[in-house]
Amino acid sequence: MKFPVRAPVSTLVALGGGWLILLAYIFGLEGLRATILGWVVLVSAAGLLLGVLNLAAVHFGKLRGGARNALYSFLLIVSMFVTFVVTAWLGPEHAAPQWVFDYLLLPVEASLVAVMAVTLTFAAARLLSRRVDLFAILFVAFAILTLMGSGPLLGINLPIVSDLLRPWLAQVLAGAGARGILIGVSLGTITTGLRVLLAADQPYGG
């Protein structure tokens, strides 16, 4: 008789871990829950390390193959290696890793946010060029109001836009939409979790 589960060992481990965590939450078994979650954190850290090593291997292959953008791969590998060694040797609280975070990572993230603002403006312009209806006009208007109220325009804060319109758009309209999305994600997560715990879905076995 063929076993109905594709990967019995993986299925039993996943079901056992999931039910243990659920029962630990229900019956207040804090020690068991903390132990299992600690194992999960270690496995996740190992998975993250494997992902970083795979990324380094991919870019090292580009260097050996003489790719056109091999310089970027070289800079990425060197930056990853130096950052890892410095952080592992000195600790994450040392001034050197903090300098890397404050003066390299944060400016890059700020630049990405600036690029996102430019991309949003360009998308709004393309939307109006393709179609002009109520939703397109509302999207462009809200995007412009949000961008104008996000910071000083030529050193001047727009009184009504910065103090009234932008907070109302961000906290009322955008906040309501974000809460609706989070509720939908939560319901989907609960449904998926129940299907996994009942072995209706088996994403953990091939």
Nearest of 127, 162, 131 to residue 146 by alpha carbon:
162
Token digits for 201? 């879905």
Q: What is the pLDDT of residue 197?
A: 76
With beta carbons less than 8 A apart as the criterion, state whether 73 and 59 touch: yes
Percent of the chain with pLDDT over 90: 6
Residue 52 has pLDDT above 60, yes or no: yes
**In this model, does residue 1 exceed pLDDT 50?**
no
Task: Calculate mean pLDDT across residues 129-150.
Answer: 77
- Structural domain boundaries in the chain: 7-90
- Spatial separation of the C-alpha atoms in residues 199 and 3, rounded to whole Å: 13
Model confidence, pTM:
0.57
- Looking at residue 140, its pLDDT comes to 79
Average pLDDT on 147-175 reads 72
Average pLDDT, whole number, for the chain?
Answer: 80
Q: State the pLDDT at residue 203.
A: 61
Predicted confidence at residue 40, as pLDDT, reads 83
Region 145-155: what's the mean pLDDT? 68
Percentage of the chain lying above the pLDDT 70 cut: 87
Tell me, what's the pLDDT at 6? 63
Please state the rounded mean pLDDT for residues 13-21.
79
Q: Rounded distance, CA 60 to CA 74, Å?
A: 8
Q: What is the pLDDT of residues 68-105, one digit of tens each?
A: 778 888 888 888 888 888 888 888 888 888 888 888 88
| Structure confidence by residue, pLDDT tens digits, 167-203 | 787 788 878 888 999 999 999 888 887 887 777 766 6
161 against 100, higher pLDDT = 100
CA distance 104 to 99: 8
pLDDT at 201: 65
| pLDDT for the residue 7 | 66
pLDDT digits 0-9 by tens, 23-45: 888 887 788 778 888 888 898 88
Cα dihedral 177→179→185→187 (10° resolution):
-120
Is 190 exposed, middle or buried (CB count within 10 Å of its CB: 0-12, 13-18, 19+)?
exposed
